[in-house]
Amino acid sequence: MKNPVMKAFVITFVGIAAILLLVKVGVESKLQGVKQEVLEENPEITAVEDVQSLGGLFEWQEYVLEVHKGTDVLYRIWAKEDGLVNDEEVIVTK
């Protein structure tokens, strides 16, 4: 590339894309770890449907998960990173 403005634009764009990709992979890895901890610490939970974090980026203190206990009941639980459940509520029963 002979145009220095275009070269700077491409380098900046690639750098930003790389940072966003690293953040996305880091967040997904963190949420997957919480999912595993919840499953290990709570044998009554048979499946995890969804995991979300409360707080902003790098302010993870509590997580909200939608889980199954058995086959017919879907719960929303609040858990810490170590997998310990703080609270729960029934979302759907069949």
Give the pLDDT confidence of 36-91 residue by residue, as tens digits. Answer: 999 999 999 999 999 988 766 666 678 999 999 877 889 999 998 888 899 999 99
pTM to 2 decimals? 0.76
Instruction: Quickly list DSSP for the chain.
Output: ---HHHHHHHHHHHHHHHHHHHHHHHHHHHHHHHHHHHHHH-TT--EEEEEEEESSTT---EEEEEEESSSS-EEEEEE-TTS-EEEEEEEE--
Ordered domains of the chain (ranges, CATH): 4-92 (3.10.450)
